Amino acid sequence: MTFFRINSLAGMALLSLILVCGPPPAGGGPARLEVAVTIHPVADLTRSLAGVRAEVLTILPPGASPHTFAPTPRLLRRLAGARLLVMIGAGADDWATKLVGRRTAKVVLTRGVRLLPADGHGRAEPGHGNPHVWLDPVLMKTAVGRIARALVKLDPAGRSYYLARRDRLLVRLSALDTWIRSRVKTWRHREYVAFHPFLAYLAVRYGLKRVGVIERSPGKRPTPRHLAEIVRAIRRHKVRFVLAEPQVTDKAARVIAREAGVKVIKVDPLGGPGTTYGRTYFDLLRHNVGRLERALK
């Protein structure tokens, strides 16, 4: 899955100039560590780790579709000064490496993770697969440790500060995992249909069963035959809803839901400060689990 592309020659020219010349000089006083993160949920966790010792910039703005977003010149200038880039990997945001300097350190969250297939079928190709690992709080415990190590390497003077904040964050992630398990075990239903396989890691972790995917890869419209197969799967498995996302159109999901006589429920994989439910990583996960619970309990 590719989140976005720089879609003009002018944009590429500007990016090249920024990366050669570097960012504008900072004002007086010691500069904080500049950290860039591709998506909001991971940026929120990174801010919790970094505290006052780093400035964390989220590349993808709230509410933007990761498939159509293009960076502004101002954003490109800021990214040129990033000391650390935290990205998802798995082919999702390889574009981000072109937005930062050559010496920028990188943390790739899916590196070392056994990836699920991007389309929900077969096996994942090496280095590519389903990138939505951040929706599994257990996998994010490993990610938090890796981000903390990268911060310590770039800012050794803050070692005890970062590690203390890491430990507190790991406790919170463990508590979130325990809370989700306590909710899911009360649900009578487990089956769902999704617009695309963004819930895969959370589903595997907590025993949910996806019985159909409408759009198996970004931008690939489902055929009438595939839509009919989804409707039959909904009826056969007595699925009660179709999952959609606020960042992409839910037209196909609504067509299927209407044909199958079920509801459309929106679950947000990204959240953001502009939402009422997903300003923090923990708020986002609790919101999504709550939405699922109302349909599955």
Exposure string over 204-224, b if 16+ CB within 10 A, otherwise e:
ebbebebbbbbbbeeeeebee
DSSP states along 1-42: --------HHHHHHHHHHHHH-SPPP-SSPPPEEEEESSHHH
193, containing H or E segment = strand 191-194
Which pLDDT score is estimated for 15?
46
pLDDT single digits (tens) 76-130: 989 989 999 999 998 888 888 888 988 999 999 999 899 998 765 555 565 678 9
- The yes-or-no verdict on residue 20 having pLDDT over 60 is no
Q: Which residue has the higher pLDDT, 205 or 98?
A: 205
The mean pLDDT value for 14-27 works out to 42
Q: Which of 116, 147, 103, 134 is nearest to 271 (CA)?
A: 134
pLDDT of 17 strictly over 70: no
Q: Is the pLDDT of residue 10 over 60?
A: no
Residue at token pair 């040129």: 80
Q: Mean of the per-residue pLDDT values for the chain?
A: 86
- Give the pLDDT of residue 133: 96
Contact, 115 vs 125, CB < 8 A? Answer: no
Q: What is the pLDDT of residue 274?
A: 84
How remote is the C-alpha of 72 from its chain's centroid?
A: 21
pLDDT at 5 over 60: no
Q: Could you tell me how far CA 21 lies from the centroid of its own chain?
A: 31
Domain 188-296 has CATH 3.40.50.1980: yes
Q: What is the mean pLDDT of residues 168-193?
A: 96
Domains 24-179 and 188-296 share a fold: yes
Phi-psi region at 53: left, alpha or beta (left = phi > 0; alpha = psi -120 to 50): alpha
**Could you tell me the residue ranges of all domains in the chain?**
24-179, 188-296
Quote the pLDDT of residue 1: 42
Residue 156 has pLDDT above 70, yes or no: yes
CATH class of the 24-179 domain in this structure: alpha beta
| pLDDT tens profile 25-82 | 444 445 689 999 999 999 999 999 999 999 999 998 876 665 667 888 989 989 989 9
Q: What is the pLDDT of residues 215-270, one digit of tens each?
A: 877 667 888 899 999 999 999 999 999 999 888 888 889 999 999 999 999 999 99
